[in-house]
Structure 1
Amino acid sequence: MVAVREKPTSVEAVVTVVTVVHLWLCQGGFGVAAAAPTTLATGWKIWVVWVAKFADLRVPSQGTGGYATSGLCFGGPWYLTGRLAELLRPNAAPGVQGAVEDTIAKPKQGDWWHTESQQKIISAAQQRELLLIHGPPGTGKTSTAAAIVSQWIQKEGRVLCTAESHVAAQRLKETLQGPVMHLKWTGDTPWSELQRQLQAARVVVATCTGAGNDLLNSVEFRWLLIDEATQATEPAALIPICRSSGAQQLVLLGDPHQLPPTVLSAKAVQWGLSKTLFDRLSEKQLPMLLDTQFRMHPKLCAFPAAAFYGNQLKTSGVTAELVALEFRGVHGPEKQIGSSFCNASEADIVISILPELATDLESILLVAPYRAQRGLLERRLADLPRDPRLQVSTIDALQGGECDFLIFSATRSNATGAVGFLRDKRRVNVVLTRARRGIIVVGDPRTLANDATWAAWMEFALSLEPLDPYTLAVRAEAHLCLGNRDDAIGDCDQALELSPGLEYAVVTRDRACSKDHPQE
């Protein structure tokens, strides 16, 4: 982004071409009425600033002379970009999806891709030009990606794998086999060494924007996989696509029911750039669903499966023992700090829970929706003996992570019932699907009851039989709050129908068991 200013005039533009002594600017499209200056007289100042989320509004398509904007215009004759442009025309017919033949060997003992949906998806990735994979939490999305790549590298050609962040890219790299290069240049490695590594690699892993690195200019990729595609802005996703314009197959993986990409520009949102390429393609071609999760205990999965995934999400038989599924009410007032919020009463409750937790829990996450509350929890923990199992996070930093046990501080507590961005069902989904063995939500039931999704979750959690007077009293008050919202569950996008035959847990301080089999 370039800003050229002379009082009282201001012009903004995008750098499109850089030469040794010139910057070529593309001005317009940003709502700026002033014309770009033809000469820079005395008094003009130029600021050139790289702003990743804003400068990506217009990404030059690699060598095409066109721009990858919200209209998705591809100017080149290349196979992959041409096919996408054809599919994404406003009046284009939906893509035809033929039956998938089982082209991979049956899994052997110890292979992880033993579910039917995994086998079908891995086979489809070898047969379809374009494949969208919907991977809910804990369904082995990254491992499925690795299996797809392992099938590709048995053939000739190179594979480009990208993700929105370096963390996700590194996680993907760690699951891949064979010669793999993670393109993450910090300036410490000589260019010649990077080129040597590139020549030896069959698979290149990079972030979406990192795929535009000049190091890859001479490399041709036959296959392209974009992980966490629902977290990448559309222009960011187009960078590896333009880089792999001659590729024969494209696979995008993601979960549209979790956090979307962060788009800070209101103008970009207005232009539709908060909509991901995965979302846009999903309107033309139905994603294939990974339908079996391996992370959460069935009782932890019950609500997310019903509320967010239409009861299509099943649970494997290899989950760990449930420790707790619990709501604890507190009425301490929130405190606003700038644009953030904290709640000291909730922080006290969260810290008081820690001694109750079982010692065999290997990882415990304390999660808050606001940075101010995260900071407060960190300060409270600093006064305690260090526990390496404990981590503190915000919701937005949590996606893709998992833990044994999670304690969530909802933070908001006010007379108006405002829950802030906790009203976003995708954030609720992220919070409720990280833990393997248990979750405790600490919050104000009067405030949370004003949001349909949280009201439905409290109804679910409070249906579990309480065993102590404190929890009984809190739940009685919460039921009273919910009683004033008869429409709480009805306001959800779909009626909450829990899987038939599910036995609800009886929560104690250290474990949970079936109501019908209390000694198991």
Structure 2
Amino acid sequence: MTLSPEQWLLTHHYLQCQNDENFEKIKSLFLQIKLSKNNSKPKTNPGNVALIYEIQRPFIAGDIVTVWLGKSLKECLPVPAIQLMEIVPTVRVCLHHNKYPSLCFSDIQLQNASLSMAYHSIEQYVQLWSKVFIAESVYDSVRAKNLIFIRHAPLKWNKFTQINNCVDDPYYIPKDDVSLVIPPKNQDSLDFISIKSGDFFCVRYEISDSLNAVYHFVVTKVKQKENKKTKKKDEDVIIRMCAEGDHSCRVTENMYQELKKGNQTCEIQIIPMPDSFHRVYARLKEVLSVNSEWSSLSKKIPISDTKSNSFNKLSATRKVVEISLKVFNDDPLAKQLWKGESGIELNPIQQDSIKRALTNSFQLIQGPPGTGKSETGAHLAYIFSVTNKEMHASEKDPMSCKKAVLYCGPSNKSVDVVHKNLHLLNEKVLNNKLKILRIYGRTHERKDYPDPVFDLTQERTDRDDDGGGRVLDEFRNESLHKIIRHNCLDIESTKNRLQELLNEGPSNIFYDGILKADQIVEDRGPLTQSMDSFWPRGQLHPVLFLKVYGMERSTDYKYSRKVDSHSKCNDEEAEAVLKYIKVLVKEHDVKHESIAVLTPYGAQKNLVAEMIKNDCELKTKESLSVATIVESQGDEYDIVILTTVRSQEVSEIRYKQYVQPDRQWLNENLGFLTDDHQINVGITRARYGLIIIGNDILLKYDATWNKLIEIYESEGCIRTV
């Protein structure tokens, strides 16, 4: 069944009214459905329509539900069990993978992968542990409330292997990976969903009332070929998947005959693997690649028998062992606790663990919480640091002084414990002779020092164990991003493309007044001879802030196909953009390729691009650049028109002027405009002039925008449209 978005909405309202027994409303809906059917026009490609809607289905005793039967996963003999249950028409939930996720997508338990002896190869290790990893991650994956479906998907099945046993009927399993090929014309749906290696697929076939099947796969590879002529990725997207579990894909004889025909389509439910698992899974699979970054030692450790003689021979070089043991025996700080009463030494087990770690290239130290593992790790880091200095002094090797000790942990808090110990030792005993450099993730860097260099498309939510993403004050001078920022001020002290007023805002707000316009920029003339008259105060002040009090709106289907449904656009600001493009081109001889329109919202980008395309004066000018702020990173343009989009009724904004807005209010009403990174990128893309279009009353609620607008007001660069 193929329905238009309007028909889907009416169907959803019908189901709500049916649950509420609102029969008068149902009659009205029937008339609307009939009317929409008569007025609807055939779509050229209805398969590209992506819909997002909320489903609520209460159940009461006596309700009739539609179910699909399958075989129980927990019984040895083939016992019937409910596999799918229909929530609303065309939306079915798989009870199997929700109840037994590890059995559906994997067939191995932790004890089976933890071999008592060594693995015979790194391939065996990856194969076993990736299945354990899948079994663990799928529990988190199936908890997601969102149901994502791809309908009418033509899977490509290759060869099959027949399995015979004495308990069940003969069945087939796929010998090779199963693949889904998505041609360019059907790739619009990929703008709404992201499919990666490690994601889970629940595949449903409905051949007839008496023949249906459900299979479970794990995505192994997502590949898009590059067109050799255009050098663009406009070829087919190929998604390969495999059945990892013993019960994942058992094809009966009847289904085997249907799949051999190659013309059957299916419905796929996508179950994304959580991002935290994705990173580890990708790293685990990387070891099998030809250009793997895994070292020989890191490959040898997981497949070795820890009790074997060969593993115990993984010792460090004799010279390193001698020096490190000498440091441990002679340096009192190597054995003593660094906090509390002086003179108290580490316990014998901790000292023995340190000796073993100094002797071997690899050492596993484990124990329950509170047994002093972090304390031991901090002492090891100190001993290795002193060893590096002793090696440099004894060998006279200039390269040995560049050796460093790297301490890693699963969370910021775990590293904070070791960092605190080393920081305390360095400050109170060593007089800061120990050089400590703390490396944080992007979340901490962005919150401490807004910098547009970071990739804004990779924003991640803060973890609960990261202290809100802030660097502790005592570690601030030892953090890498603070040191880089301090040491690179001279390098960043000039910005060749930014004119003085263009430079003033970002310099004062983001860079403590360090940025200065280069003399070459100050000496160059206007972009065209008549541009001096365009700016309110001439070419020496090439900034124009246009007050536009339009109304933002959430995107409809037309402009949300390539952005998420929560994106925003503003028609009044888009019209102002076109107006000033024409003014620049017609009255001031600015070339089309010199102008770029930037916005924080993808929906506004699509709206402006569509309006330019439909404008008889501008539609043939393909050189006009329209992009989101994120997409513009690293680029620069002669004239930038920045449309900020977010706006409300002026009366509503003034009503709130006596209320101190909190972070939630700012996020709801200003969204991306509260992101200093995006602000910085947006206002620093222009070489000759910047035009900002927005609602100044609303923008002033954000501290950064308030400072910017005050600068522009003091320079007389404000106009009202």
Q: Normalising by the residue count of structure 1, what TM-score does the alignment of the two structures yield?
A: 0.48
Query: Higher strand proportion, which one?
Result: 1
Query: Higher helix proportion, which one?
Result: 2
Which structure has the larger Rg? Answer: 2
Identify which of structures 1 and 2 has the higher relative contact order when contacts are C-alpha pairs closer than 8 Å and 6+ apart.
1
Q: Normalising by the residue count of structure 2, what TM-score does the alignment of the two structures yield?
A: 0.36
